[in-house]
Amino acid sequence: MNTWIAIGLTVLGCYAVKLAGLLVPAGAMERPLVRRLAALLPVALLAALTAQQTFADGHALVLDARAAGLGAAAVALVLRAPFLLVVAAAVVVTAGVRAIGG
């Protein structure tokens, strides 16, 4: 049930902001500070999520195969690999390190 509540809230919230962008008159959100904040908010969230989903195990911080996978993804990004290849690199390297027993 909790999962459905979370899904319902996310569906409503995410659709509402998408629609708001198309409906709201241009002037309302064009203030430089608001635009700047909207651009920086995803940076903060994505950075925190990347770090947590790489190094968190419940409430503990751990260094395991995922870190190696993310390292591979970072290298792929520096080499300008396409999106799918970046994700694949992370998955394959993580699986490989686990198989070896890291």
Partner 1 sequence: MSAEGTAKPDAAVVRDALGVGVAVGLSGFAFGVTSAGSGLGLLQTCALSLLVFTGASQFALVGALAAGGSPFTAAAGAFFLGVRNAFYGLRLSQLLAVPRALRPFAAQWVIDETTAVTLAQPTRRAARIGFTVTGLSLYLLWNLTTLLGALGAKAIGDTDAWGLDAAGPAVFLALLAPMLKTRTERAVAGLAVLLGLGLLPVLPAGVPVLVAALAAPVALFVEGRRIGRTRRSAPDGTEEGR
Is the distance from CB of 55 to CB of 61 less than 8 angstroms?
yes
Which of 63, 75, 79, 95 forms a contact with partner 1 (CB under 8 A)?
Answer: 95
**Closest-CA residue to 66 (of 57, 78, 79, 75):** 57
Write down the least CB distance from residue 50 to partner 1, Å.
Answer: 4
CA distances from 44 to 57, 70, 87 (A): 21, 18, 20
Does 18 contact partner 1 by CB under 8 A? yes
Interface with partner 1 (CB under 8 A), residue total 71
Which of 31, 75, 79, 90 forms a contact with partner 1 (CB under 8 A)?
Answer: 90
Write down the least CB distance from residue 64 to partner 1, Å.
Answer: 10
Is the distance from CB of 94 to CB of 66 less than 8 angstroms?
yes
Q: Which of residues 43-82 bind partner 1 (CB under 8 A)?
A: 43-56, 58-61, 65-66, 69-70, 73-74, 77, 82
Q: For residues 94 and 5, what is the distance between their CA atoms, to the nearest angstrom?
A: 32
Does 101 contact partner 1 by CB under 8 A? no
Write down the least CB distance from residue 6 to partner 1, Å.
Answer: 4
For residue 26, the surrounding DSSP H or E stretch is none
